[in-house]
Amino acid sequence: MSQEVKKEKKFTMTLPADELMACGHLACQGCGATLAMRYMLKALGKKTALCIPACCWAVIDGPYPYSSMDVPVYHCAFETAASTATGVKAGLEMTGDTETTVVAWAGDGGTFDIGIQALSGAAERNEDIIYVCYDNEAYMNTGIQRSSATPYGAWTTTTPVKHFKTRPKKDIVAIMAAHRIPYIATASISHPEDFFKKMKKAKDIKGTRFFHVYAPCPTGWKSRPEDTIKLARMAVQNGYFPLLEIENGEKTTLNLKLKERKPVDDYMRLQGRFRHLGPDEIAAVQAEVDARWERLIKGCAA
Amino acid sequence: MKKVIMGNHALSYGAMLSRSQVISAYPITPQTQVVELLSEMCADGKLDAQFIKVESEHSAMASCIGASVAGARTFTATSSQGLALMHEMLHWAGGGRHPVVMGNINRSMAPGWSIWADQNDSLSQRDTGWMQFYCSSNQEVVDTVIQAFKVAEALMIPAMVILDAFALSHTYEVVDVPDQALVDRYLPPFKPAIKLTTDDPRAFGGLTGAEHYMELRYRLEKDMEKAPALIEETGREYGKLFGRDLGLVDPYLCDDAEFIFVTSGTAGYTARVAVDELRKSGVKAGNLRIKVFRPFPFDRVREVLGRVKKAAVVDRNCSYGAGGIFYQEVKSASYGRPGMPPLFGYIAGLGGRDITTDSFKEVAAHALSKDRPDEEIVWIGVKK
């Protein structure tokens, strides 16, 4: 018994134990987006202000007059995460607070679709904000409708199995890289230390910083809540969601080099949203992931 | 100091003298000179503000809201299509209680494309929880911007300062530009009781159930109801410092008038000329220019209406299917009250068509020829 305790003591926590998010939030079981917020706040600390548009997190934070956060939150309009955050940063600076990190925290719909104009504008101006897109690959808060982040083949309530999504996911990282902003990173809740390290790094960079965070959604993906982290890890390991950084739109660094990529098949089979797909369609997804991976490797070498 | 400036620059001077801290704007004709001059003022260091050159009016208002909640005095300006694009965010500023002040140049809505004056753009925004001030001279524009910040910040309700395209925006007039030290005395720095800060973390505008939402809107209405008295009080205070009182309405020869025009914007000054000419021909005419449309100055309008025999409301706008919008409001103010005169409604000057003294004489001839109105809308100067 005493030996076991000793063994446990050897385990070192690399993330700070301090929590800026309380446990009374309203997320579904196994919500990836909630872990993403928790890890981000551990890295950014108390001097952080959040602008959250319509998305799951508009609900997760808690209804008026409650908030599950120990940092200020401005709930903003759907398409205005980047523009509201721009204003908050300017307002804080003009009233003497130059320290606070202002974060726009939006889902994939608010980023890839309705908020992309404001995001592009802020990035082109190089506004001094961190923009985080937690990507659960559909409009989950409104009840699982397809967004332009929904992958090929997926079922959603607006892409029924008889008419599943036949277009690939929009490449938001490439779009943001084309803006040549100082820093872009992808991150996954399955790799919190990597996420934490990159968020710490981003905090000290001035200008627009963009994070694309992979956030599995059991409710929308028809997966088991206990598989959330497993799914996120599989997506990293099979190359579906590579962990990378891009500096100034040019220098790409792959954070997790994979000697051998696992097939996407196992990952897809754990999710009800892909259940209707046959071997040909899964092969098509595999081919797309392979092609993207090759392009990424070439990009890193260049 | 007296300067000859255009209406658009009057807005810029108002924003500068008010020591705006964040300005976020997108260009649209005929508003462009407002933000051009402000960006120069920021670049020259005459104004210590951050100027955010956003990619749309929607983002302009969103970033103004963000800056305002962080505690900064915030200004923007737009017109027409830009204002319409902002519509969602106007509700956000009103409902969120962010005292942004915005200049709007009244320009007709497309299609067809028009850059000329009418009021449908701003009047379409009347239910968004903003105060609306309709100005008639460049002097009034400068003065009203400064007053608007004072009232807006006291009530935490945003305010729109509105002027007609070209008739005011591009017309040069002599303006007594207020002294900065006096403006500073009149308008102290913006210090909101609650703001977004990491020292006191709060959530703003989260999910609000039926058990709370109605009270938030009740409070907005109750505070809006305080605005008329506050506008008059701060208007008198302004008068003491600068020699120009700022009121809710601007009556001209209404004390002994039997027939009055009810007007707004630059048409309100044209109407004065028509009143003078009508008086020469024996008609005891007057003009009631409504300056503040939201909150609607019910009491002041009733006071004047109660003294006259007939009133003609001239609208540079149309609520299709219901007629002139000021006409509806004036009728609503007089409804059920004893001693109210017959009210006639006219629509003129849409899409920048001139409203001249002859237009007003045509209105007077029509109204004076009838005992009571027999049409909901009488069109002036339209090719039928």
DSSP sequence for A170-204: P-HHHHHHTTT-SEEEEEETT-HHHHHHHHHHHHT
Distances (CA, A) of B247 to B119, B130, B157, B228, B290: 21, 17, 18, 9, 9
Contact B62 A76 (CB under 8 A): yes
Suggest the residue from A57, A60, A86 to mutate for an interface test with chain B (most B CBs closer than 10 A).
A86
In this predicted model, what pLDDT tens digit does every residue of B145-184 receive, in sequence order? 999 999 999 999 999 999 999 999 999 999 999 999 999 9
In this predicted model, what pLDDT tens digit does every residue of A180-207 receive, in sequence order? 999 999 999 999 999 999 999 999 999 9
* ipTM above 0.85 for this complex: yes
Tracing tokens 């790799």 back to the chain, one arrives at A191
Q: Report residue A7's pLDDT band, with 50, 70 and 90 as the boundaries.
A: low
Contact B196 A72 (CB under 8 A): yes
Give the CATH number of domain A19-301.
3.40.50.970
Which sequence spans correspond to the domains of chain A?
A: 19-301
Alpha carbon distance B93, B131 (integer Å): 11
Give every CB contact of residue A172 below 8 A, 6+ residues apart in sequence: A111, A112, A133, A149, A212
Please give the average per-residue pLDDT across B347-374, as a whole number.
Answer: 97
Please give the average per-residue pLDDT across B304-312, as a whole number.
Answer: 98
Q: Is B349 helix (H, G, I), strand (E, B) or coil?
A: coil
Contacts of B87 in chain A (CB under 8 A): none
User: Same CATH fold, B249-379 and B2-242?
Assistant: yes
Q: Which residue of B has its CA nearest to A72?
A: B201
**Beta bridge mates, B51:** B23
Distances (CA, A) of B273 to B180, B268, B363, B367, B381: 34, 9, 14, 18, 18
Which residue in A48, A45, A55 sits closest to A147, CA to CA? A55
Q: Which of A65, A66, A88 sits opposite B67 (nearest CB)?
A: A88
pLDDT beyond 90 at B27: yes
Which residue in A149, A153, A273 sits closest to A222, CA to CA? A273
Which sequence spans correspond to the domains of chain B?
A: 2-242, 249-379
Q: Is B96 helix (H, G, I), strand (E, B) or coil?
A: helix
pLDDT beyond 80 at A133: yes
Number of cross-chain residue pairs from A and B with Cβ atoms under 8 Å apart: 167
Contact B162, B32 (CB under 8 A): no
Contact B379, B351 (CB under 8 A): no
Whether a cis peptide bond, with omega within 30° of 0, leads into B188 is no
CATH of range B249-379; options 3.40.50.920, 3.60.10.10, 3.40.1400.10, 3.90.1570.10: 3.40.50.920
pLDDT of residue B321: 96
Q: Is A215 helix (H, G, I), strand (E, B) or coil?
A: coil
pLDDT beyond 80 at A3: no
pLDDT of residue A51: 98
Please give the average per-residue pLDDT across A62-77, as a whole number.
Answer: 96
Alpha carbon distance A200, A198 (integer Å): 5
Q: Which of A55-64, A225-234, A293-302, B313-322 has the lowest mean pLDDT?
A: A293-302
Alpha carbon distance B118, B124 (integer Å): 12
In this predicted model, what pLDDT tens digit does every residue of A33-65 receive, in sequence order? 999 999 999 999 999 999 999 999 999 999 999
pLDDT of residue A9: 60
In this predicted model, what pLDDT tens digit does every residue of B91-150 receive, in sequence order? 999 999 999 999 999 999 999 999 999 999 999 999 999 999 999 999 999 999 999 999
User: In Å, how far from its chain's centre is CA A129?
Assistant: 16
Suggest the residue from B55, B97, B195 to mutate for an interface test with chain A (most A CBs closer than 10 A).
B55
The CATH homologous superfamily to which domain B2-242 belongs is: Thiamin diphosphate (ThDP)-binding fold, Pyr/PP domains (3.40.50.970)
Query: Average model confidence (pLDDT) for chain B?
Result: 98
pTM of the model: 0.96
In this predicted model, what pLDDT tens digit does every residue of B218-233 receive, in sequence order? 999 999 999 999 999 9
In this predicted model, what pLDDT tens digit does every residue of B241-261 receive, in sequence order? 999 999 999 999 999 999 999
pLDDT of residue B258: 98
pLDDT beyond 50 at A1: no
Q: Report residue B277's pLDDT band, with 50, 70 and 90 as the boundaries.
A: very high
Q: Which of A58, A61, A90 sits opposite B52 (nearest CB)?
A: A90
**Beta bridge mates, B28:** none
Contacts of B200 in chain A (CB under 8 A): 72
DSSP class of residue A168 equals: P
